[in-house]
Amino acid sequence: PAPRRAGNMARYDRAITVFSPDGHLFQVEYAMEAVRKGTTAVGVRSKDHIVFAVERKSTAKLQEARTVRKIHKLDDNIVLSFAGLTADARVLINRTLIECQSYRLTFEDSPSVEYVAEYVSGIQQRYTQSGGVRPFGISTLIMGFDADGEPRLFQTEPSGNYTAWKAVAIGRNMKTVKEFLEKNYSEETALDGVKLACRALLEVVEAGGKNIEVAVLRKGQDLQFLSEEEVDVVVNAIEAEKAEADKQKKPSST
């Protein structure tokens, strides 16, 4: 009977290391739900730069806004953003920072972007297979340039899986943003990664520099955060383009 089956299924979501009869690890799936509740983050890869645009949480009036960060520099050429539980992200970021330093100490070279993505996803995977722990409730986006100057963009998931992307979104409403990117990403639109990333984020976020944080990484240059005023300029240009497109769609009255 259905009630009995539901009761049996409930037992499988209490232990992380136990599969349900239909092949699910429920705690990992619940961790993915935590990601879907997190603020949206978008990554766009271009030929010579990579962009993160993230939804900025509104902070309390007396809170220091700089203490709430969604974009973190891991190495000279590698940057991470995330969606999900901030405390989980902090632990994972700190461990990855130490690994990047350890790699430099051992090999006297900077780690590749894929190495860092594999390291982060490796930790996430271990926490799906051990008793007495729970999965990390975050997905990460990791961007950077390899030694050959090639831009790379990876996503990691609570399951421990990692994948490479040209453009991707994680967090709340990520399905809507991904659909927008699939329709609008091309070699031409990617030339201005900032504009494309902001356009994608504006599908689900209220317009304005206070609601969006943008970071740009260019080869051989430091990570650059756009000021609120600079973001406002981009957002206003996008809004003006939208208004013009809507105007042209409407039939002119005779």
- Give the DSSP per-residue string, 168-179: EEESTTHHHHHH
Dihedral, 112, 118, 120, 122 alpha carbons, nearest 10 = -150
Residues 33, 69: Cα–Cα separation, whole Å = 21
Residue 110: phi and psi, rounded to 5, are -85, 145
Which residues, other chains included, contact 108 with Cβ-Cβ below 8 Å and sequence gap of 6+? none
Using alpha carbons only, give the angle 96, 42, 239 rounded to the nearest 5 degrees.
Answer: 150
Global confidence as pTM: 0.91
Q: Mean pLDDT in each 10-residue stretch from start to end of the chain (254 residues)?
A: 55 79 91 96 96 90 86 96 97 98 96 98 95 94 96 98 98 96 95 96 89 94 94 94 85 54
Which residue from 234, 225, 235, 233 is spatially nearest to 65, judged by alpha carbons? 225
Q: What was the pLDDT predicted at 254?
A: 47
pLDDT for position 7: 56
Name every residue whose Cβ is closer than 8 Å to that of residue 129 and which is 6 or more positions away in sequence.
Answer: 16, 17
d(C-alpha 134, C-alpha 158), whole Å: 10
Distance, CA of 26 to chain centre: 23
Query: In 10 A of CB 129, how many CB atoms?
Result: 13
Residue 114: exposure state from Cβ atoms within 10 A (0-12, 13-18, ≥19): middle
| Cα–Cα dist 177/39, whole Å | 12
Task: State the Cα–Cα distance between residues 211 and 235, nearest whole angstrom.
Answer: 11
Three-state SS string over 32-89 comes to: HHHHHCCCCEEEEECCCEEEEEEECCCCCCCCCHHHCCCEEEEECCEEEEEEECHHHH
Position 6 scores a pLDDT of 55
Q: How far apart are CA 189 and CA 196, in angstroms?
A: 7
Residues 151, 45 contacting (CB under 8 angstroms) = yes
pLDDT of residue 17: 80
